Structure formats: structure tokens, C-alpha cells
Structure 1
Amino acid sequence: MTNKFKMSMMGEMNFFLGLQVKQTEEEILINQSKYTKELINKFRAQHMKTVKIPMNTNWKVDPGSEGKSVSPTKYREIIGSLFYLTASRPDISFAVGVCARYQSNPKEAHMDAARRILRYLKGIPNVGLWYPSDDNLKLSGYSDSDFAECKIDRKSISGTCQFLGNKLIS
């Protein structure tokens, strides 16, 4: 029995709800590289220098920060587009979530943070989810907490991930 997704009379699935799907006997790869490249062009990030991480670890901007206001419509457009991309890019989920907090009154610093995510994506547009074929169905989960570490509001930060075998599922 094969582990491939099948669709009757249409052949092998290559796209599903905007996700690119590549299937072999050994693995299934899911990404949104076409969408990522379109975002980079749409928001004029194709000529920007790439960065290695999606968010500056020393970013200390809060909602009431000083600075010049930017177009909330443009900012929301970028953040909404990035949120859609998190379906196959969990590596940007935290950074996009932080940027989303400032949609009501974005400043230049917030826009810079959103553009940084685009610069990160420009450097690795083809990354996605990888599901190798194996019979390991062991469910495991991991969590991490950092109490009062958030530099913005001193709240605790926590996160979880769950794996089925060596496949990230949540």
C-alpha cells in the first residue's frame, strides 16, 4: 500500500489550497515557494539584503512606541499575507504573531520588522514541511516557557510542538 495522497481521475496531487505538494515513495514535501516568491515581488523585497533569522532578538518596540506612523492598510496587507504563509512555514509563526499585535497603529519600527520577515523569506523561499514515509507513529510533544522574558510587556512566553514519529503535526 502506498502512502501517497490520491485523487480520482486527476492523477497525483501537485497543488492543494495554495500549497505545493511533491510526493515520492520516500516522502511528501509541502511548501508555498511560488506564493513566497510572489510576496517578495509584491512587497518589493527582491532587492533587499537577506537575513538569517525572521526577527531581531533585541527588538524592544511596544504599541505606544514613538516614531512615524505608516499606512495601516499596507501593514495589514503584509501581515495578512505572511499569516497565510505560516500554513507551511512554522519558522515565521512567532515573528508574524508579534508583528500582528501592532496592526491598529503601526509605526516605522513595526514595518521594519515585517519587512525583515520578507528579507528572511527571500533567502530561503523553498522551505516547507517534510513528511518522510516510515511506520513510526509514536506521538511526542515538547513545550518551552520563559517567564517574564518578553521585552515588550514582561509577560511569559511559551510554545509547544507535537510530532507523530519525526513528523511535525502541530
Structure 2
Amino acid sequence: MEDFSSFNTPICENHNLGPAHESVEDVDPTQYRAMIGSLMYLTASRPDIMFAVCLCVRYQANLKESHMKAVKHILRYLKGKPKLGLWYPAASDLKFVAYTDSDFGGCKSTRKSTTGGCQFLGGRIVS
């Protein structure tokens, strides 16, 4: 895929991905799953592709060519954005810090608890 141009988004706005009902040629599931596995690993440092990758993961059981095209679209997006993502320099302190806030009975109308939180790894927010 070196000769192909890159894309500006990880997936098309009108992607039309769904369960494959069309009578299109099947795709090699081994190659598809290997590509999806690599992309899932990459989502730890590239949250921008999380939605698109998780959308493609849903259709591993009944693959069609449209699903493979969506995965290749993600790869072409990554080609054009190689420096985008969360970077953890080797010299940085990778201390994990988490903050949370709970308010028991905090919702005025339902009296249910409300909570929120965030986690940082090496000074960078991860969740």
C-alpha cells in the first residue's frame, strides 16, 4: 500500500458498514483478523482510530470485501498521520495517577450517585 495516497479521516462519514448481506466475494479471515489485531494494539497510543477499528472488529464472523476496504482505509489514514497520537518518551516518568470524584445521592431528581474520574500515565491523560 506504499503507492496509495492517504486519507484525512480514519473512516468515511457514510461508511455503510454492517452485517454483510450482499453476495460479494468472501475475504480471507486470517489476514483480516491479523490486521484488526494489529490495529487494536495500536489504539492504545492512537485513540483517534478507536471508533473505526471497533466498528470493523464487529464483523469478523461474516467478512465481505466492504469490511476489508474499511480496514485498508484506516491503514491509509495512518500513513498520512504518522506523528499523531499519544507518545511516551523513554526518559519520562511513567507514573500512573488516577483521580475520581463521587457524589452519593448527587442527582437532584433521582437521588442516584454520580461519579467521574480520569487517569494519567506519565502526565498524559489515557482515560
Q: Which has the larger radius of gyration?
A: 2
Distance in 1 (CA, whole Å) between partners of 2:21 and 2:7 is: 24
Aligned residues: 103
- Residue 109 of structure 1, CA deviation: 0.3
For the pair 1:86 / 2:43, whether they are aligned, the reply is yes
Aligned to 1:61: 17
8 A Cα contact 2:59 2:67, kept in partner: yes
Aligned to 1:40: none
Alignment of 1:19-30 (within 5 A): none
Distance in 1 (CA, whole Å) between partners of 2:77 and 2:61 is: 24
For the pair 1:168 / 2:125, whether they are aligned, the reply is yes
Aligned to 2:8: 52
RMSD of the TM alignment (CA)? 2.8
Distance in 2 (CA, whole Å) between partners of 1:117 and 1:97 is: 11
Distance in 1 (CA, whole Å) between partners of 2:49 and 2:17 is: 18
- Residue 168 of structure 1, CA deviation: 2.3
- Residue 126 of structure 1, CA deviation: 2.2
Greater strand share, 1 or 2?
A: 1
Distance in 2 (CA, whole Å) between partners of 1:162 and 1:123 is: 30
Distance in 2 (CA, whole Å) between partners of 1:125 and 1:117 is: 12
* TM-score normalised per structure 1: 0.52
SS of the residue corresponding to residue 128 of structure 1 reads: coil
Distance in 2 (CA, whole Å) between partners of 1:120 and 1:168 is: 23
Instruction: Encode CA deviations 1:46-100: one digit per residue, 9 max, x unaligned.
Output: 2111000001110112113312211111110110010111110001111000000
Indicate which of 31, 46, 52 corresponds to 1:95: 52
For the pair 1:105 / 2:70, whether they are aligned, the reply is no
Q: Which runs of 5+ in 1 are unaligned?
A: 1-44, 141-160
- Residue 163 of structure 1, CA deviation: 6.5
Q: Which runs of 5+ in 2 are unaligned?
A: 101-116
Q: Percent identity?
A: 49
- Residue 127 of structure 1, CA deviation: 2.0
Aligned to 2:83: 126
* TM-score normalised per structure 2: 0.69
